[in-house]
Every structure is written in structure tokens, then in C-alpha cells.
Structure 1
Amino acid sequence: MKILLLEDDTALANILVDYLEDEYEVVQTYSMKKALELCETEKFDVYIFDINVPDGDGISLLHELRDFNDETPTIFITAFHDTKYLKSAFSAGANDFIKKPFDLDELGVRIENIKKHFGLESLVELAQELVLDTKTHTLMNGNATKQLSQRESDCLHYLYKNRHRVISSNELLQNFWEFDEMPSDDAIRTIIKNLRKYVGKEHILNIRGEGYKFE
């Protein structure tokens, strides 16, 4: 699992990176501008943002990311104890909030909760007797197994993680192909057709004129 950490306190950032790297891949930056660049060029499973950084704030950054349909689960860390920041963070699309000072194990528990809620563990239970192994790209349906391509696996996992909303073909294209390699919508239709055959049409709905939704 890959985490982006935006924290401008050097001492705290080093402590957090040391702690998190025992379990996860961590990319750390002190700058809101650099964090935005990283979000545009790399894929992360979890964001951990400080609210107050020298060139902006984590809440504004999350607003911008959410406007571009980036639904990556986000935990805010802050020294502010005013509830207005709590409200602003959740209004921007935050998934959790932790106040400084905090115990490192508390952060670990919150990350584990995010992993379970958003299907970020390597074995993801999509439905009863339907399990996706995101590391091996293997789909297990009861006693049967199906080897997926990486793009099929990634698209299925993305649909599941964002199961509360409809995902357009364009969003899938932007997430899984580089701009200069982007194919036509036919590539997405083919992947979706295959996935519906593997998991059942009742789990991947085709919302006419809008896109696809995992049920």
C-alpha cells in the first residue's frame, strides 16, 4: 500500500515516515504544490495531510483533488483544536481526522480501519464468495479461480473502492492509461464486458449515458 504524507514539521515527518515504512511505501513532501504534482503523476492508496503547510493548506488541496474525482481516502493531522477545522476537513471530503499530539499506534489503527473500509488489503471481499487478490490479480469465485490481467484487476478494484458512485469511461481511461497511450472507449467496454462475465452482471451495472457502478 502506498501513502502520500504532506507534513511540513521536519521532526514529525521523519518520525511518521520511520513508523509508516515498517508496513507501507511512503512518499513524503513538505509542500502543497509538490503534493498536487505527486497526486497527478502517481497513484496512492491513502493520503495523510497536515492542514497548515507553508504554501497552502491540506483542506484546499483535498478540495481540488475531489473536484477531479480523486476519491483516495484521506486522513488529516493537525495541531488545531477548533471544531471549525474539523468541519472544513470533512466538508472537503476527509475520511478521518487526528489531532496532534497523537500516539503513533492510534494513527496505525486509523489506517487499518481505512484499509478495511475501502478494500485496500491485498485480499478484497467483493461479495459473498467473491474475492479479488490485488497482488496476484486472481479472482476467486467460490471454488473457481480466474486469472485477470493487471488492467482488469485494477479496474475491478477501482470500481469496488468507488462503489458509492457511478464511474465514467473517461475516468477509468485517465486512471489507467498515460495520456499519450490512451486508447478509445472500446478498450474500457471490452474490460467491463470481461469483468461482468467473471463477477456477474448483477455486480457491475451499466448506467446508460453515465458509466459503470459496482453493486
Structure 2
Amino acid sequence: MNILLLEDNKKLNQTITKRLKLKGYKVDSYLDGNEAFNSITEGFSCFILDINVPNIDGIKILKKIREFYDEVPVIIISASTELEVIKESYAFGCNDYLKKPFFIDELEIKVQRLCQIKNDLIYFDGNCYFDYKSSVVFINNEEQRLTKKERLLMNLFLTKRNQVLSYDTIQNYVWEGSFASLESIRSLIRRLRKALSNRYIETVVDTGYIFKST
């Protein structure tokens, strides 16, 4: 799972990054709001944002994230205790708010709870699993490499296993906010079904798809 971290305190940034990487997460960390802003459509599964950072603040980045992704978890970390700032964060769609100073364990627990993915190897059943570190599917010990869009779709399905995903949700996450025709989505589904031996992805008529696994 890939996480975007925005924290302008270099020492805290390094500490959070190190801890999350030790837990097996991929972390792209930024000290500058503008750099983070320009990277939000790179298929992240979780965002951790400080508010008071150089150039573009965390609230503006949160608002932009929600233009692209309705459901990707966003955690705000901030030293601000102002009620209006906290209310504004939730109003624009943050999933959780963590006040500084905090224990890194607190942040780690929130990431695990919100993203619901705790292992690098995600098993669909006894014969099939997805390796997050290498972005490879293994079926009966045979390797199936995925394209970027297939990886993004796989990541979305695994974050929301056994939940119905609408066409709009898939478009916003996999196409990173750009338009995708229904046929483009169906074509991507067909390719992923082929890679997975067509056993896990079910169509929900006129709505979208659901990834069913044990």
C-alpha cells in the first residue's frame, strides 16, 4: 500500500516515514505542500497531511484530493487546537484528526484501521495472493504481473473487499480524476479478470463491481 505523507518538520517526517516503511508500507514523503499537491493523483491508498506547510496548506490539498477520490482515507496531523480548524478538516472530508505531539503508534493504528490492510501478502484463497511490495499476483505459484491501472484497481478492490464499487469510484481512483468511458472500465475489468482466472470479480448490474474473497 502506497501512502503520501506531507509533513514539513524534517525530523518528524523522517520518523513517520521510517516507522511506516518498517511496517511494509510504501511511503512518498514531502516537506512542501506544492510538491505534494502535484503528486496526489499517483494512486495513493492513504494520505497523511500536516496543515501548516509551505506554499499550499493541507486543507487545500485535502479539498483537491476529494475532487479525485471520494473514499481514500485522509488523516490530518496538526498542532492546531482551534475548533474551527478541526471542524473545517472534517467538513472537507478528512477521516481522522491527530493533534501534535502524538505517539507514532497512534498514527500507525489509525492507518491500519482506516485502510484495513495489514499484510504485504493478501490472500484471496489458498491458491492465490497479491504481493503489495512487488505488485504481482500469484496464482498456483505462477506470477502474473499487472499494468499500472490493473495495480490501482487491484489495490482499490483489496481495500474494499466484499463491498460494491461504483463505476464512478473506479474511474476517480484508477483514472486519477480523468474521464473514463464505461467501455474503458469494462475493458480493464476484463483484463484483470483474465489475470485472476475470472474467479473473484462479480458484476453488480447497472452499478459496478464487487471483489469477493474469503
Q: TM-score, normalised by structure 2?
A: 0.70
1:172–1:188 Cα contact (<8 Å) kept:
no
Say yes or no: does 1:34 pair with 2:35. yes
Match of 1:121 among 109, 115, 119: 119
Say yes or no: does 1:108 pair with 2:108. yes
Question: Compared with structure 1, are the counterparts of its residues 18 and 153 closer, same or farther at alpha carbon in structure 2 (3 Å cutoff)?
Answer: closer
Question: Compared with structure 1, are the counterparts of its residues 92 and 156 closer, same or farther at alpha carbon in structure 2 (3 Å cutoff)?
Answer: same
State the 1:80 CA deviation. 1.0
Paired amino acid for 1:150: L
State the 1:153 CA deviation. 6.2
State the 1:36 CA deviation. 1.8
Where 2:199 maps in the other structure, the secondary structure is: helix
More helix by proportion, 1 or 2?
Answer: 1
Q: Aligned-residue CA RMSD in angstroms?
A: 3.6
Partner of 1:133: 130
Question: Compared with structure 1, are the counterparts of its residues 48 and 167 closer, same or farther at alpha carbon in structure 2 (3 Å cutoff)?
Answer: same
Paired amino acid for 2:130: D
Question: Compared with structure 1, are the counterparts of its residues 189 and 9 closer, same or farther at alpha carbon in structure 2 (3 Å cutoff)?
Answer: closer
Where 1:137 maps in the other structure, the secondary structure is: strand
2:68–2:173 Cα contact (<8 Å) kept:
no
Distance 1:107 1:170 in 2: 29
State the 1:138 CA deviation. 3.2
Q: TM-score, normalised by structure 1?
A: 0.70
* 1:156-213 C-alpha deviation (Å, 9 max, x unpaired): 44234254641346447625xxx9xxx95563252365469312xxx623342x5434
Partner of 2:89: 89
1:167–1:213 Cα contact (<8 Å) kept:
no
Say yes or no: does 1:205 pair with 2:203. yes
The higher relative CO (CA closer than 8 Å, separation ≥ 6) is in 2
State the 1:78 CA deviation. 0.4
Question: Compared with structure 1, are the counterparts of its residues 196 and 88 closer, same or farther at alpha carbon in structure 2 (3 Å cutoff)?
Answer: farther
State the 1:50 CA deviation. 0.3
Distance 1:96 1:186 in 2: 34
Paired amino acid for 1:204: E
1:173–1:188 Cα contact (<8 Å) kept:
no
Say yes or no: does 1:150 pair with 2:151. no
Runs of 5+ consecutive residues of structure 2 not aligned to the other structure: none
Question: Compared with structure 1, are the counterparts of its residues 29 and 124 closer, same or farther at alpha carbon in structure 2 (3 Å cutoff)?
Answer: same
Question: Compared with structure 1, are the counterparts of its residues 164 and 30 closer, same or farther at alpha carbon in structure 2 (3 Å cutoff)?
Answer: farther
Paired amino acid for 1:28: S
Runs of 5+ consecutive residues of structure 1 not aligned to the other structure: none
Superposed, 1:3-82 pairs within 5 Å as 3-23=3-23, 24-40=25-41, 42-69=42-69, 71-82=71-82
- Same amino acid, percent of matched pairs: 26
